[in-house]
């Protein structure tokens, strides 16, 4: 697994100063603890760091892949994906609320006239649009959605480890699984934190044959 520059910096700090708390690491890098939390989670899950309550993080001289890490590297998005809930960018925010409620999801994927991914809309987007007595019937979802290219996506053969890192780093609940087309991305599935939870359960409690 390739580490980014900040994760490599964290490893150097823990190697030199460990055991060290997350708060102290954040101070040394001049970032908030919340900003570093995803990196620390990834490094611990990947076996580079160990953590003990009230003591902090330890550097592991010889990182050993954890069973969970090996599982996440082995399985792909297509093994745990769900059906995507897709809406058109011209429908109203009100209709989007109805779709979200009826489908019981927290994220909707928005497509354009070519049926390619153009945006993503979340509960927070719809809540924000409803503040101030706005008429949701008159607001198209294209006005309030997150647009391409500011959308994090994955493909069906991406590992669960890569997907977990994206979900943690971006602090999002769901990713569209896409297929590249000449003019953009076709949405072919979705993977959520719920899907990831099911994957974790399969690690600790595999199904009996």
Distance CA 166, CA 171 (A): 8
In a domain, 71, yes or no: no
CATH number, domain at 59?
1.10.10.10
Q: How high is the pLDDT of residue 62?
A: 66
- The predicted pLDDT at position 39 comes to 84
Domain total for the chain? 2
Do 156 and 147 meet the contact criterion of CB atoms below 8 Å apart?
no
Q: pLDDT truncated to tens, each residue of the chain (209 aa)?
A: 567 888 899 999 999 998 999 999 999 999 988 888 878 887 887 778 888 888 899 998 766 555 666 667 778 999 999 999 999 999 999 999 999 999 999 999 999 999 999 999 999 899 888 887 678 999 999 999 999 889 999 999 998 888 988 888 888 889 999 999 999 999 999 999 888 888 777 665 544 43
Residue 206 lies in a domain: no
Q: Does residue 37 fall inside a structural domain? A: yes
pLDDT computed for residue 64 by the predictor: 59
* Contacts within 8 Å (CB) and 24+ apart, 4-9: 4/39, 6/36, 6/39, 7/39, 7/42, 7/43
Cα-Cα end-to-end distance for the chain: 31
Residues 90 and 121 in one domain: yes
Confidence at residue 78, expressed as pLDDT on a 0 to 100 scale: 92
Domain that holds residue 124: 77-201
Q: Judge if 119 and 49 occupy the same domain.
A: no
Distance, CA of 68 to chain centre:
17
Collapsing DSSP to helix, strand or coil, 134 comes out as: coil
Q: Could you tell me if 105 and 167 lie in one domain?
A: yes
Specify whether the CB–CB gap between 198 and 80 falls below 8 A: yes
Domain match, 81 and 123 both = yes
Inside any domain, residue 161:
yes
Instruction: Please tell me whether residue 112 adopts helix, strand or coil conformation.
Output: coil
Rg (CA), the chain: 20
Residue 89 lies in a domain: yes
Tokens of 80: 């745990």
- Shared domain check, 196 and 124: yes
Is 209 among the domain residues? no
Decide if 208 is inside a domain.
Answer: no
Measured between alpha carbons, how far is 117 from 120 in angstroms, rounded to an integer? 8
Instruction: Write the CATH number for 82.
Output: 3.10.580.10
Kindly state whether residues 163 and 109 are assigned to the same domain: yes
Q: In this structure, are residues 97 and 84 in contact, taking their beta carbons and an 8 Å threshold?
A: no
**184-192/117-122 β-pairing:** unpaired
Query: pLDDT at position 208, please?
Result: 44
Does residue 207 sit within a domain? no
């Amino acid at each position: 697994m390739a580490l980014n520059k900040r994760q490599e910096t964290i490893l150097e700090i823990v190697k030199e100063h460990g055991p060290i708390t997350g708060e102290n690491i954040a101070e040394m890098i001049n970032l908030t603890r919340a900003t570093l939390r995803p990196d620390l989670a990834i490094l611990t899950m990947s076996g580079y760091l160990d953590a003990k309550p009230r003591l902090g993080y330890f550097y592991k001289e010889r990182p050993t892949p954890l069973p969970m890490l090996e599982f996440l590297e082995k399985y792909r998005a297509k093994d745990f994906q769900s059906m995507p809930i897709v809406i058109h960018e011209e429908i109203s925010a009100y209709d989007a609320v109805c779709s979200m409620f009826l489908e019981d999801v927290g994220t909707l994927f928005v497509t354009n006239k070519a049926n390619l991914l153009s945006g993503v809309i979340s509960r927070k987007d719809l809540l924000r649009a409803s503040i101030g007595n706005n008429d949701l019937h008159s607001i198209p979802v294209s006005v309030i959605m997150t647009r391409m290219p500011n959308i994090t996506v994955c493909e069906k053969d991406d590992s669960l480890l890569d997907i977990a890192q994206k979900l943690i780093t971006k602090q999002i609940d769901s990713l569209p699984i896409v297929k590249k087309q000449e003019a953009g991305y076709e949405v072919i599935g979705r993977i959520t934190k719920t899907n990831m939870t099911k994957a974790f359960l399969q690690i600790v409690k595999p199904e009996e044959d």
